[in-house]
Amino acid sequence: MSDQPPESAPATLGEGFNVFGLKQELMRAISEAGFTIPSPIQALAIPAVLSGRDLIAQAQTGTGKTAAFGLPAMNRILAGAGNGIEILVITPTRELAAQVSEELYKLGRYANVRTVAVYGGQSSRRQVEMVERGANVVVATPGRLLDLLTSGRIRKFQPRTVVLDEADEMLDMGFAEDIEAIFTHLPAKRQTLLFSATMPPAIRKLAARILTDPQTIDLTSTAEFKTDVEQFFYVIEESERAAAVSRLIDSEEPGKAIVFCRTKRETEALCTTLVARGLAARSLHGDIEQDQRQIAIAAFKKGAIDILVATDVAARGLDVTDVTHVFNYHMPFDQESYVHRIGRTGRAGRKGKAITLVTAYEFGKLRRIQHAIKASFIHGEIPSIADVHRRHDAKLIKALCKQTVHDGVVDILAQINEEMDIGEAACKLLSMLIERRAVSGPDRIGLSGKRLESVLGRGRRSENAGYRQSTSGERRRRPDERGRDDQRPPAAPRPQGDEAGFRRVRPDRPARPETGEGQFWDGKQWVRGRGKRAPG
């Protein structure tokens, strides 16, 4: 932003928000929340909402949407000094309702904005009471809200501003009819704001019905929030998923990771496996009681749990800013879920890694997602046990170099030196440090050699079929399609992954030359033949 302060001068908290002309009380809360510069969606949405217009906004999760609608909407309450419910926010899940109402409370408290969350699984009597006792903002899930409206238990419900938060999510979860029904209870004269990470046709249709002459904001094409997430994929056999995730966790040592599974049962099973391996993991899915879910999420935020194994529904919209890794244990069902999932990491300007496991069978789907979201995927090889050890060694050495020397160790060292020489002592100390390292599982995980090449080759072919033109534009042979030009010397290196739309890690290993079957990596180069023999 142009009003970004120079790096040398620390920004006055909240300063970048001055331009909007928000009330004093809101500015105080913004500054206490530690916000300095409005995020892009905030910079665009706040003036739009203040103007009173309807709005349809597309932005990824973690981009600050709650404040983007909450601040200007709350600013308008103050201006009108109205009574009763002025703002209704509809969110897909209980977790999100709790999260959004917490954020709105935080931002609105000095302005005396009273916020109530209304969702299933908790006493509706209490929620109704709080609504009637002069709340200004209701944050609700569709099912419970519709119940209360149709049964007439919430009366005089005339919100001036209605927000659909994570609208695509609500439709995915089958709330389309509930939402339509809710709108029959809402005043015709209202401001309606629709926020969504993706804009499938169903959302556009809904928007056409409930919005009037909306302003449109689309921030998904700006690279800003995407480039912070590096997207890797690993090709594995179906039976290797758990071993692959475990190995990658051992190797990556994520600060905080979310592992996405397809079903509740899969979530439970994987979580059990990870816990058995000594990892601080918890599962999160729809069958887990609400309060247990909240305990798990709180522990994850605090860092008491490093890994959440979750279903899409349970984890979406989770506001945890420092997730370092997102694993797709299984491919998501569609590109929208993929976008949602990887939006859990790389938030608030941090870097993130998204790691997707695919079988040969699922590879085409991965290609379609890649094409649809115009992402650049990096093909990785699952590290062997020795690879992981090397990585840990390097980290240990780095940490050792940085380690400061504490008082008193010189004395201890002198005492040790009476028993043994310093070299032996160093070896023993290092052994103590690495004793707890346990990298288990098979040494090699994932497809290798011919099968892998054939899978990656398939991806390249579909690209030539129209996804993206490779530089040569030639259709490439399958490894089993051999032709006369196989007689050419194998010197010409196989085109690097980039050409196929993928980058590959392991730059230390040159790409395999494209000369047909029977090639293997002997540790130094690609050679023809079988087994570990030198070529020729």
Residues making contact with ligand ADP (CB under 6 A): 33, 35, 37-39, 42, 61-67, 103, 319, 321, 348
The Cα 183–Cα 187 span in angstroms is 8
SS (H, E, C) 205-273: HHHHHHCCCCEEEECCCCHHHCCCEEEEEEECCHHHHHHHHHHHHHHHCCCCEEEEECCHHHHHHHHHH
Strand 519-521 versus strand 526-528 pairing type: antiparallel
Judged by CB, which is closer to ligand ADP: 103, or 266? 103
Give the tokens for residue 298.
Answer: 């709180």
The Cα 50–Cα 164 span in angstroms is 17
- Write down the least CB distance from residue 12 to ligand ADP, Å: 14
Judged by CB, which is closer to Mg ion: 161, or 356? 161
Instruction: Name the E strands within 147-190.
Output: 161-164
Give the residue from 285, 284, 280, 286 showing the smallest Cα distance to 296. Answer: 284
Contact 524, 532 (CB under 8 A): no
- Write down the least CB distance from residue 201 to ligand ADP, Å: 23
- Write down the least CB distance from residue 455 to ligand ADP, Å: 35
Instruction: Name the E strands within 317-447.
Output: 325-328, 352-358, 377-379
67 is in the binding site of which of ligand ADP, Mg ion, none (Cβ under 5 to 8 A by kind)? ligand ADP
Give the tokens for residue 510.
Answer: 């040159």
- Write down the least CB distance from residue 423 to Mg ion, Å: 57
161 is in the binding site of which of ligand ADP, Mg ion, none (Cβ under 5 to 8 A by kind)? none
Only one residue has tokens 């002069």, namely: 134
341 is in the binding site of which of ligand ADP, Mg ion, none (Cβ under 5 to 8 A by kind)? none
- Write down the least CB distance from residue 99 to ligand ADP, Å: 7
Judged by CB, which is closer to ligand ADP: 14, or 380? 14
- Write down the least CB distance from residue 107 to Mg ion, Å: 13
Judged by CB, which is closer to Mg ion: 69, or 232? 69
515 is in the binding site of which of Mg ion, ligand ADP, none (Cβ under 5 to 8 A by kind)? none
Cα–chain-centroid distance for residue 206? 26
- Write down the least CB distance from residue 58 to ligand ADP, Å: 11
Judged by CB, which is closer to ligand ADP: 64, or 332? 64
62 is in the binding site of which of ligand ADP, Mg ion, none (Cβ under 5 to 8 A by kind)? ligand ADP
The Cα 141–Cα 138 span in angstroms is 10
Judged by CB, which is closer to ligand ADP: 36, or 376? 36
- Write down the least CB distance from residue 166 to ligand ADP, Å: 8
| Binding site residues, Mg ion, CB under 5 A | 65
Judged by CB, which is closer to ligand ADP: 64, or 441? 64
SS (H, E, C) 77-137: HHHHCCCCCCEEEECCCHHHHHHHHHHHHHHHHHHCCCEEEECCCCCHHHHHHHHHCCCCE
CA distances from residue 392 to 73, 102, 270, 388 in whole angstroms, order as listed: 50, 40, 24, 6
Judged by CB, which is closer to ligand ADP: 51, or 321? 321
Alpha-helical segments (H) within 312-356: 312-315, 335-342
Judged by CB, which is closer to ligand ADP: 33, or 186? 33
446 is in the binding site of which of Mg ion, ligand ADP, none (Cβ under 5 to 8 A by kind)? none
Beta bridge partners of 493: none
Judged by CB, which is closer to ligand ADP: 157, or 175? 175
CA dihedral 19, 24, 30, 33 (to 10 degrees): 160
- Write down the least CB distance from residue 16 to ligand ADP, Å: 8
One-character DSSP codes across 488-502: S-TTSPPPPGGGGTE
- Write down the least CB distance from residue 221 to ligand ADP, Å: 16
Cα–chain-centroid distance for residue 359? 21
75 is in the binding site of which of ligand ADP, Mg ion, none (Cβ under 5 to 8 A by kind)? none
Contact 176, 124 (CB under 8 A): no
